[in-house]
Amino acid sequence: MKLNWPSVGPIVGATGPDETRVFIRAGKEVLGQDQRRCFGALRWRQAGSAAWSLPIFNKLSPIFDFSCVFVIQGLAPETLYEYQVGWFFAEAELAGVQALAGDLQWPAPEPDFKLSFTTGPSGNTAPRRYIVGSCRYVLRLFGGNFFDDRGDKAFRSVLEQIAGGQSVDALLMIGDQIYADDLKGLAPDQTLDQFLERYRAVFAQEYIRKLMARVPTYMILDDHEIEDNWPVEATSSDRTSKYIWAMHAYQIYQCSHSPLFPSNGERIEGTLSHFWYSFRDGCADWFVMDSRTERVLEAGARRMVNDGQMGALLKWLDDGSGNVKFIVTSVPMFPDMKSDKNDKWDAFPEQRQQILDFIHSKRIRKVVFVSGDVHCSFTSELRLEGDDDFLVHQIVSSSFFWPLPHMRQSSFGFGDVLKGKGNQRYVGALTSEMHSKDNFARIEVDQASAVVTFYERKGNALGSATLAF
């Protein structure tokens, strides 16, 4: 049986020392075929080995836009693997397609389309290398029949770095992976089909697709996955229609291959009660916050995150791992904004101070906030007046692509005391140049420091900073 090449993916998702996840979606052949059963198949081997594993299978359900996630287990740490993947129609149950294992013709991707992944280290001392970015604006043109591909050049630059010997252990996309409201109030996405079509187009662009097929990728949403500044202008109708459809599409294309879903052998299972998650990768511990969907804006009850997420974050911070603690929050933690004041952490000063006071009281070291959203990039540090031992770092990386003027340093209150209650006086300072152009960040981290280098969309280095722990 000849297998078909996926229309979206493969996306290598959450990857640890002994496991990885791979997402695919079927091709255009499924259109109008809702009653036909289709399945995905995947096999793998260590690089250089002649022997492939037995294939594993999964059902491609129309409920999940004909997609699935394979869970590959029993792998060796820090090992390069190759894989092959495809999909097919079959009038059978999932258990019945196992009989086809010996009669599969695997599709061949383009020559420079490498299907591979490297498992993570088993200990907590290994240095790691990451690509981080946010805000990839993709304009829908000509009635929705064409999507602008200028933002895809950032991923071409990452692939060129890899080809030149700069390895990447993971890609973190930290908000606004799609712009469902790319023309602001003019014809924003409202229906499930519209959100799904946008994901299919954005994630199928050439270079992001090639990169995600070989580098473990982690994602979290920000506002544009739903609408600008969500939920500031949300109506009750938006919360029961637009939000439901946006989050269903988000779970399919961004959550499904993350660590969020538990696995049942070769497949993921379950339903989600939240969208934040954490993972460990060598010397780095990551907590990926949901800074968008748990917001409450009513006076007297304002919050950025609910008690469950806050409790999980504080417990994770104080787990005694000794690792570098990267906290992803799609909007910057500090400094306070001189404009755009209602959407960032300075609009929720009580919860921000709760986090910072906890870090201070517990004497937690090596904390780095990682953010996007603001269409400029920089590193900064937060100090506490009267306590020279307190130090928190921040990396802001935005945007992969934004076609309008970018934010500048004058929009940020560097040197000002953060809003908050009590006697604690936290003050943020810029520790790098501010880059007000399209770019992405490369982070090289070990237990002593993190070196952050910003690159413009076409690959030229803009500047770097060292965050010493």
Residue 143 has pLDDT above 60, yes or no: no
**Between 313 and 150, whose confidence is greater?**
313
Contact criterion met (CB below 8 Å) for 323 and 335: no
Over pLDDT 90: what percentage of the chain?
84
Over pLDDT 70: what percentage of the chain?
96
CATH class of the structural domain 128-468: alpha beta
Which single residue is written with the structure tokens 């031992």?
389
Average pLDDT over residues 263-274: 94
Which single residue is written with the structure tokens 């007046």?
385
Model pLDDT, residue 447: 97
**Domain residue limits, the chain:** 8-118, 128-468
Neighbours of 140 (CB within 10 A): 21
148: pLDDT confidence band, cut at 50, 70 and 90? confident
First to last CA, the chain: 55
33: pLDDT confidence band, cut at 50, 70 and 90? low
Biggest CA-to-CA distance, the chain: 71
In order of 128, 133, 259, 351, 441, the CA distances from 371 in angstroms are 18, 8, 20, 17, 11
Domain 8-118 has CATH 2.60.40.380: yes
In the predicted model, what is the mean pLDDT of the chain? Answer: 94
Contact criterion met (CB below 8 Å) for 67 and 46: no
Q: Output the pTM of the full model.
A: 0.96
Average pLDDT over residues 304-328: 98
Q: Burial of 123 by CB count in 10 Å (0-12 exposed, 13-18 middle, 19+ buried)?
A: exposed
Same CATH topology for 8-118 and 128-468?
Answer: no
Model pLDDT, residue 187: 78
Among the residue ranges 7-21, 92-106, 111-125, 279-293, the one predicted with the least confidence is 92-106
Model pLDDT, residue 34: 60
Structure tokens at 349: 């000063």
pLDDT tens digits for range 342-397: 899 999 999 999 999 999 999 999 999 999 999 999 999 999 999 999 999 999 99
